[in-house]
Structure 1
Amino acid sequence: MLTVTNPATGKIIQEIEPDSAKSVESALEAAQKRFISWRQTSFAERADLLRAVAGIMRKKVEELAPLMTQEMGKPIREARGEVEKAAWCAEHYAEHGEAYLAREEIGSDATRSYVQYLPLGPVLGILPWNAPFWLAFRFAAPALMAGNTCLMKHDPHVPACAKAIADVFEEAGAPPGLFQALRIETPAVEAVIRDTRVRAVSFTGSARGGAAVAAIAASEIKPAVLELGGSDPSIVLADADLDKAAEVLTLSRIINAGQSCIAAKRLIIEEPVYDAFTEKMQARLAALKVGDPADPATDIGPIARADLRDELHRQVSETVKAGARLHLGGKIPEGPGFFYPVTLLSDVTPGMCAFNEETFGPVAVLIKTPDEKRALELANDTPYGLAASVWTGSERGEAIAREIEAGQVSVNGIVKTDPRLPSGGIKKSGYGRELGPHGIKEFVNAQQVWVGPART
């Protein structure tokens, strides 16, 4: 049974029977059948569909956004923005997908030789709850534009979001089998990955889940893209614009109640500005409003599930017990729902829980560093390698970026995902890339074509 709990109230709002084995089989067969015809469509036809999907989403923002607020607690302002961003992703690939997959002429001993990018077949997207619309389109828009069909296995806690996404494709005129939502429980996923009709897998979620998916896909010799967790560092050096850094890093830390893989999690501050920066962060964090995610005035909604809040509180409590200083928050509030206060920890050091583990919630962690060299050592002292930011002079920041072990680095700006730019991690943050020209090439056959006769 798929059970949906409103995290703002803690009450069950829906229970849904999972898809039967017969329904899953029908979906797989439909995806394979549709691929045979969809792969023959022109880029213009694929683009027309994606534009139609985006147009419907923009018109229905006020219907779609509240689904996220109800099912996973996203503040309504952020939910509206997520729907718009998902529509942008569809429009971006409609506009640029053909150019991204343009044939590449490569000289050889052939009369003519080139690489062309051809679709693979049905692609399975296994998605988490924290950005239900954005992550669906980050997976589906490039895959569809490349000529693949899509099977979306969304998180069991956001079934209404999953259905709404599938409904938008249907309303836009997508042919049967092109984009389908599978409402199945986690144990049923392995059989879908192993099915011979599924040709590739995209997974976003925890490192543990990613390892399991990767092992299954690899055993079937299928490509996979993994976007996993992160303990993302942000280095603030003494020559940084402290007000701007504090403003942006506050936003980065609390978007989606801090439940974001690319949020700023470990703020590494150079010693001469450490105290001043701590004061600026505390003032900004203290001004934020935690409350009903349906209220447009709310900055931070609830944690998505009770177990996730309990885990976050354990991390905070153990870090304080180990010697970190607690400036704000740190206590589970009374009342319904899974709310957690904005929390600020300073004087965190390697070995403490909040340094070593990914914190998925509105918890800012400040770490003091004597200089740039040590800042880099601290930034890279993590099994993860998803994203990072550097705050200093631009030229110096670019040089530092080369030394950071992460798939994405922002210099004097917020870390974000953008349809125009590739996103992904290294180390235990995963492999492969999504978005941009790199993302659309993950699930294609880069076919080499050699045309004779050979040149002498």
Structure 2
Amino acid sequence: RERTSYMVEIAEAALKPVMASNPKDGFRRYVKKVPLGLVMVIAPWNYPYLTAVNTIVPALMAGSAVILKHAAQTLLVGERFQQAFDKAGLPKGLFQNLVMSHAQTEKLLGSGKIDHVNFTGSVAGGRAIEKAAAGTFMTLGLELGGKDPAYVLADAKIDHAVANLVDGAFYNSGQCCCGIERVYVHEKVYDEFVEGFIAETRNYVVGNPLDQATTMGPMAQARFADLIREQKAEALRKGARAHIHMQVANDEPGSPYLAPEVLTEVD
């Protein structure tokens, strides 16, 4: 609601024509903003409302029609959007929630009927969308996963850096587009930072997210956790050091539960 209210507040100023900075007698120079047409939103499961709202609301306010294709794990979110817009009296067909397979999505993207697609997800997913849209001249908005680093300077406030980077790494069980995956630390504060990072990480309580004591729940799918297990094992084989060694119930291959770990000397 807060995000939507903000976009409504700034819409008039954001969408009005922009007058040229170099006016000339006899001419009216300006940039006029017009609707894109048909906008397709391919939304992710990890922040299913927030990420979808970021495109749906401004697209509708700018005069475009919207098709929402939500992630397979969060199909009910798409239905809730449809119910909300229907209840609000949005003209029929202006917003449509569609349930489609990857193959069906690629076919629609290649049809030439979509004017803009916005996707939040994996690099592989972004590549597939770019390939499917080739030759259609649609515009693309791709927010893809990365390998987000952080750097701790020599004059950093270590307590502040530790608290924020541990949270940045493990928030939502590490399943964030902007989650911290590696940290570079200045040699002058390296030992102090690592010691604090390890201590802060050991405070996590992994368990059922419905339990009040739990501060870290499982990953969304077992295959996600298995991938992290494989990455950890590879790093250890190549000489990395593990520091947490936390014992967590159900932390085993094929389970979405995974203990937090801190690795140093990773090559």
**TM-score category, normalised to shorter length:** over 0.9
Task: Tell me the residue number matched to 1:184.
Answer: 100
Task: Tell me the residue number matched to 1:158.
Answer: 74
Q: 2:14 is matched by which residue type in structure 1?
A: Y
Which digits, 9 at most, give the CA deviation of each residue in 1:307-354, with x for residues without a partner? 1111111001101111111011488853795111111111223xxxxx
Which digits, 9 at most, give the CA deviation of each residue in 1:109-151, with x for residues without a partner? 6521111101011101112211111111112121112111111
Structure 1: unaligned runs, 5 residues or longer: 1-86, 350-456
Specify the SS of the correspondent of 2:39. Answer: strand
2-structure distance, mates of 1:189, 1:330: 41
2-structure distance, mates of 1:179, 1:143: 10
Task: Tell me the residue number matched to 1:347.
Answer: 265
Task: Tell me the residue number matched to 2:49.
Answer: 133
Task: Tell me the residue number matched to 2:19.
Answer: 105
Q: 1:255 is matched by which residue type in structure 2?
A: Y
Cα contact 2:206–2:248 (8 A) shared by 1: no
Task: Tell me the residue number matched to 2:61.
Answer: 145
Q: 2:259 is matched by which residue type in structure 1?
A: P
Give me the TM-score of the superposition, normalised by structure 1: 0.55
Task: Tell me the residue number matched to 2:132.
Answer: 216
Structure 2: unaligned runs, 5 residues or longer: none
Cα contact 1:234–1:267 (8 A) shared by 2: yes
Q: 2:122 is matched by which residue type in structure 1?
A: S
1-structure distance, mates of 2:100, 2:160: 44
Quote the offset at 1:296 in angstroms: 4.2
1:265 is aligned to 2:181: yes
2-structure distance, mates of 1:110, 1:323: 72
**Gap change, CA 1:332 and 1:221, over 3 Å in 2:** farther
Quote the offset at 1:208 in angstroms: 1.3
Quote the offset at 1:173 in angstroms: 2.6
Q: 1:103 is matched by which residue type in structure 2?
A: P
Quote the offset at 1:165 in angstroms: 2.4
Task: Tell me the residue number matched to 2:114.
Answer: 198
**Gap change, CA 1:224 and 1:297, over 3 Å in 2:** same
**Gap change, CA 1:330 and 1:178, over 3 Å in 2:** farther
Q: 1:166 is matched by which residue type in structure 2?
A: Q
Specify the SS of the correspondent of 2:263. Answer: strand
Quote the offset at 1:168 in angstroms: 2.1
Q: 1:344 is matched by which residue type in structure 2?
A: V
Q: How many matched pairs?
A: 263
Cα contact 1:121–1:197 (8 A) shared by 2: no
1:240 is aligned to 2:240: no
Quote the offset at 1:188 in angstroms: 0.7
Task: Tell me the residue number matched to 1:92.
Answer: 6
Quote the offset at 1:271 in angstroms: 1.0
Q: 1:234 is matched by which residue type in structure 2?
A: A
Q: 2:16 is matched by which residue type in structure 1?
A: A
**Gap change, CA 1:329 and 1:184, over 3 Å in 2:** farther
Alignment of 1:38-437 (within 5 A): 87-106=1-20, 107-108=23-24, 110-329=26-245, 333-334=249-250, 337-349=255-267
Cα contact 1:313–1:331 (8 A) shared by 2: no
Which digits, 9 at most, give the CA deviation of each residue in 1:352-380, with x for residues without a partner? xxxxxxxxxxxxxxxxxxxxxxxxxxxxx
Cα contact 2:225–2:255 (8 A) shared by 1: no
Identity rate of aligned residues, in percent?
35
Which digits, 9 at most, give the CA deviation of each residue in 1:17-67, with x for residues without a partner? xxxxxxxxxxxxxxxxxxxxxxxxxxxxxxxxxxxxxxxxxxxxxxxxxxx
RMSD: 1.8
Cα contact 1:331–1:340 (8 A) shared by 2: no
Task: Tell me the residue number matched to 1:435.
Answer: none
2-structure distance, mates of 1:329, 1:175: 56
1-structure distance, mates of 2:240, 2:249: 21
Quote the offset at 1:202 in angstroms: 0.7
Specify the SS of the correspondent of 1:176. Answer: coil
Give me the TM-score of the superposition, normalised by structure 2: 0.92
Quote the offset at 1:174 in angstroms: 2.2
Quote the offset at 1:196 in angstroms: 3.6
Cα contact 1:125–1:139 (8 A) shared by 2: yes
Quote the offset at 1:216 in angstroms: 2.2
Specify the SS of the correspondent of 1:125. Answer: strand
1-structure distance, mates of 2:58, 2:109: 20
Which digits, 9 at most, give the CA deviation of each residue in 1:67-101, with x for residues without a partner? xxxxxxxxxxxxxxxxxxxx222111110011112
Quote the offset at 1:108 in angstroms: 4.5
